[in-house]
Amino acid sequence: MKLQTKFLSILVPLILAPLLLVSITAHQVLKSNVQDNSQTQTQIIADQLEWKISKSEELANQYINELQNSYVLNRDRIETEINTFHALRPGITNISAKDVNGMQLAHSGKHLDDVIHQAPLALGSLVLTKSSGYFVVYRQAVKLLTSNAESIIVELTLHLPELGQFIEATRRNSHIVIVLRDKAGTPFTQDRSLKTLFSGTSFSENTQSKNAEPIQWNQKQFLVSNKTISNDISMEVLTPTLNVRSATDKLNALLSYIAIGAGLLSVAILHKSIAALVTSPLARFQRHTQNIVKGNTVPVNSLNRSDEIGDFARSFDEMRQHLLSTTEQIEELAYYDTLTGLPNKVTFIDTIQNLIEKSTVTGHQLAIVFFDLDNFKHINDGLGHEVGDNLLMEVGNRLKECIRSHDIISREAPTNGNDGNSMIARLGGDEFTLVLSKINSPEEAAKVANRILQRLGAAFDIGDNELFISASIGISMYPKDGKTPEALLKSADTAMYAAKSNGKNNYHFYNANMNKPVLERIALESSMRSALENQEFILYFQPKVPLDQEPCFAFETLMRWKHPEKGMVSPGLFIPLAEDTGYIHNLGDWAIEETCKQIESWNDQGYKNVSVSVNLSPVQLNYGNPIQTIKHCLEKYRLSPSQLEIEITESGLMQNEKLAISLLNDIKALGVRIALDDFGTGYSSMAYLLKFPIDTLKIDRAFINDIESNPESLMVLEAIISLAKNMNLHLVAEGVETKEQLEILQARQCNYIQGFYFAKPTEAQEAIHFFNSYYEQYQEKAS
Ligand code: C2E
Ligand code: CA
Ligand code: CA
């Protein structure tokens, strides 16, 4: 049921019930008033009748007195006297004189021969005739003048036309029937039905009670009231109930109309005011709610009221505003990345779609640049999410700068990483994407990729940390590498993986052959998880042969993965993978333990001067806890700390210098030696050599390769050697494959030679065997 109907169904009875009650009460009061009225009417009628009769009585008395006083009445003259008297008084109908015995002495006037009824009245008798109506007959004794005290009876008949006229007129005009009755109850009427109506009922005074039931006569209802007029005559007054009814009914109808009118008016007013106060504001709220549901949030300010509805409107508006801001936030969340404020994947895909449509008109190419930070996972895990988040924000900022300065694309000022022609987005984690439109050749995309690598190469100051990171970038081109945004993204992602596998910190364009290695990489990643448990990893040892010094047994451990299906997998393939997944921590710890175990075994076998260097990944160094493992293994296998050396690369030191320095100092404090690997390939900075507690420099194979033929390489080699000598560092030459190379190095007093010329990395047994036979030859030569 509608609210308005409910209100009305409650309120309408509340209004109508009192109105009806008033009208019923009024009806009752009126009814009793009318009855009272009919009694009063009866009384008035009775009074009038009484007055008329008493008037005739007075007249009769007057006549008789005149007769007695003015006429000489004796037996002989009586006839003449009566006639004379009568002739002078036409108001008298007839007059007669009788002696005491009833003998008629004289008579004048006409006889009443059509008498219907005659009844004694207190002083005379009332007569009703058929044709002339009512008469009163008075009788009185009159003394004769002649004889002594002889009396005669004089009878005087007077006509009462007013009485009949009055009764007739009352009946005619008001339908009120007046019936006179004598003491015996016989009615003065010719009407048979009236006669029957009153036959049997006796004469009594004021029989009618107030609430008497009406009687039925002449097919109508009458209220009967009764009144005594004289001792002998009573009067019945029949008032038709119709008269009473119609009066009360009229009033009743009037009251009903008033009640209905008042009711309708109240209903209308109620309807209006309920509508104004409650239902129309509610309907408005409903419309507003529907608008809000449809996403159209118009203010509800038009309801400026001071009542509860007004309060409700204000709360409603607050709710709407809250909803509005929540919706905006949701939209922001749905389309933008909360951390960097860059568009997210949804927006990015939309943008690519738009640019694809545009480029079909312009004929330009599109480039999707997909990049992933190298080793970001370790920063996040090792230094905490806050550092990770800040780094990502900074990366976002630098990327924005990169497109801003992109001369082809960025003519208009970009906002939020989007200038209409290009857009940077964050897909999630450390993956960012960039779309470049209006590109004429892939070289333009390569330029941007290079710029990004360059910009990311500079140190990031995040809190107390100075962080260095790199990125691997994959690029796909529209329309060559995909027709849809999704396909283009997938191709760019594949190319990015290829860049990662290729040593990171570089970019790769997509080509169709790339899918295979990417899939292989994914398969390898999953099989690596159980490889340690399955003892699929082994350590190879490569001898480092000392020159011009005491014989010693020095090795570098190099890891191998004997994959059950793929055979021997190169560390160049699986180490980056293990670094990406964080698996390197387990693998690195395992390598340290295996190395120490092997040293212990050789110690036990009685070998003197055994020392082994083990490679430590930058990820282990920066985000792991290698010191614990080293300490534990030295104790467990009872090694002299100087028997162990760790090899680190420049890139490992660069990522977080402060941390690296303190960690290396701790390692150094244990007595473990530290070697800087691949020296010459990175920054080869003097500063590093001074800042870090380095014991050994390992010259990278790239410089050894062509020292015989390339004087420049030789110059670099010589510079490194003199640097090492000056700084009192041990020098290891890696990748020595030829006698010539060996001799050049020998002549320049390099400390150790590592390379295929002497021995490849092999199993421990074989590696120690190499030295055994090497020293045998050496001794032979010496002797
Ligand atoms: P690296 O530390 O620079 O190791 C030397 C690499 O040069 C080894 O490759 C070795 O087999 C190779 N090599 C040695 N002498 C010669 C030579 O005369 N000619 C040529 N062509 N190559 C020579 P490998 O074993 O494939 O290892 C590659 C890289 O994998 C290593 O480079 C190292 O960075 C990493 N790696 C290997 N084992 C481990 C490990 O246990 N932990 C960590 N973190 N990294 C490891
Ligand atoms: Ca090494
Ligand atoms: Ca090396």
40-73 pLDDT, tens digit per residue, is 877 888 888 888 888 888 888 898 888 888 787 7
> SS3 for 167?
helix
Shortest-distance ligand to the CA of residue 761:
1
Q: Is 753 close to ligand 1, i.e. is its CB under 6 Å away?
A: no
Please give the backbone phi and psi of residue 5, each rounded to the nearest 5 degrees, phi first: -60, -40
Neighbours of 636 (CB within 10 A): 12
Residue 106 to residue 97: CA distance in whole angstroms: 5
Residue that the structure tokens 């801003």 belong to? 404
Q: Which residue has the least CA distance to atom 2 on ligand 1?
A: 615
Distance CA 30, CA 40 (A): 15
- Position 119 scores a pLDDT of 84
CB atoms within 10 A of CB 625: 12
| Ligand 1 nearest atom to the CA of residue 620, by list position | 44
pLDDT-flagged residues of the chain (< 70): 34, 146-148, 200-213, 242-249, 297, 300-303, 404-420, 684
Query: Cα Rg for the chain, rounded, in angstroms?
Result: 70
Q: Residue type for 390, please?
A: N
Q: Residue 571: CB within 6 Å of ligand 1?
A: yes
> Residue 409's pLDDT is what?
34
Interval between CA 570 and ligand 2 midpoint (Å)? 14
Question: Is residue 558 lining ligand 1, measured as CB closer than 6 Å?
Answer: yes
Q: Which residue's structure tokens are 């493992």?
A: 629
Could you tell me the distance, in angstroms and rounded to a whole number, from the CA of residue 526 to the centre of ligand 1? Answer: 24
| 556 alpha carbon – ligand 1 mean position (Å) | 9
pLDDT of residue 268: 84
Q: Is residue 576 within 6 Å of ligand 1 at its C-beta?
A: no
How do strand 752-753 and strand 730-733 relate by DSSP bridges? parallel
Looking at residue 55, its amino acid is: K
Q: How far is the CA of 603 from the centre of ligand 3 (A)?
A: 26
Task: Give me the residues near ligand 2 (ion), CB cutoff below 5 Å.
Answer: 615, 647, 677
Alpha carbon of 576 to ligand 2 centroid (Å): 15
Does the CB atom of residue 543 touch ligand 1 within 6 A? no
Q: Is 589 in the pocket of ligand 1 (CB under 6 A)?
A: no
For ligand 2, the distance from its centroid to the CA atom of residue 760, given in whole angstroms, is: 13
- Expressed in angstroms and rounded, the spacing between residue 417 Cα and the centre of ligand 2 is 42
| Residue 761 in contact with ligand 1 by CB distance below 6 A | yes
Ligand that comes closest to the CA of residue 616: 1
Number of H helices, E strands in the chain: 24, 26
Atom of ligand 1 nearest to the CA of 588: 42
Residues near 359 by beta carbon (within 8 Å), at least 6 away in sequence: 365, 366, 437, 438, 478
Question: What's the confidence (pLDDT) of residue 418?
Answer: 52
For ligand 1, say whether the CB of 81 is within 6 Å of any of its atoms. Answer: no
Q: What is the pLDDT of residue 206?
A: 46
Ligand 2 centroid to 36 CA: how many Å?
Answer: 134
Note residues around ion ligand 3 (Cβ under 5 angstroms): 677-678, 734
Please name the residue whose Cα sits nearest to atom 19 of ligand 1.
Answer: 735
- 207 sits in the region (left: phi over 0; alpha: psi -120 to 50; else beta) called alpha
Of ligand 1's atoms, which has the minimum distance to the CA of residue 616? 44
Q: Which ligand is nearest to the CA of 556?
A: 2
User: 647 CA distance to ligand 1 centroid (A)?
Assistant: 11
Ligand 1 in reach of 591 Cβ (< 6 A): yes
Ligand 1: atom nearest CA of 571 is 30
**Strands 92-99, 151-159: pairing kind:** antiparallel
In angstroms, the CA 754 to CA 737 distance is 9
Q: Which three-class secondary structure state does DSSP give residue 35? A: helix
With a 6 Å cutoff on the Cβ, whether 626 touches ligand 1 is no
Does the Cβ of 570 fall within 6 Å of ligand 1?
yes
Ligand nearest to the CA of 699: 3
617 CB near ligand 1 (under 6 Å): yes
Q: Residues for the chain: how many in total? A: 783
DSSP class per residue in 649-711: EHHHHHTBHHHHHHHHHHHHHHT-EEEEEEETTS---HHHHHHS---EEEE-HHHHTTTTT-H
How many CB atoms lie under 10 A from the CB of residue 121?
A: 21
Q: How far is the CA of 677 from the centre of ligand 3 (A)?
A: 5
- The tokens of 226 are what? 């009764």
Task: For residue 380, count other CB atoms closer than 10 A to its CB.
Answer: 20
Phi (first) and psi of residue 681, to 5 degrees? -90, -30
Distance 734 CA to ligand 2 centre (A): 9
pLDDT at 628: 95
Q: Residue 77, Cα to own-chain centre: how many angstroms? A: 128
| pLDDT at position 657 | 83
Ligand of minimum distance to the alpha carbon of 704: 1
**Quick count: other Cβ atoms within 10 Å of Cβ 573?**
16
Gap from CA of 616 to ligand 2 centroid (Å): 8
For 468, phi and psi rounded to 5 degrees? Answer: -115, 130
Tokens of 697: 């420099």
Q: Can you say whether residue 96 is alpha, beta or left, with left for phi > 0 and alpha for psi between -120 and 50 degrees?
A: beta
Q: Which of 615, 645, 679, 745 to mutate to test the pocket of ligand 1 (most atoms within 8 A of CB)?
A: 615
Name the strand (E) or helix (H) holding 558.
strand 553-563
Q: What is the dihedral of CA 216, 217, 220, 225, to 10 degrees?
A: -70
**pLDDT for the residue 585:** 93
In angstroms, rounded to a whole number, what is the distance separating the alpha carbons of residues 658 and 531?
34
Residue 235 pairs in a beta bridge with: 180, 227
Q: Which of 528, 558, 585, 758 has the most ligand 1 atoms within 8 A of CB, as the residue to mutate? A: 558
247's tokens:
């009066």
The span from the CA of 360 to the CA of 479, in Å, is: 10
How confident is the model at residue 404, as a pLDDT?
Answer: 59
- The rounded Å distance from CA 674 to ligand 3 centre is 13
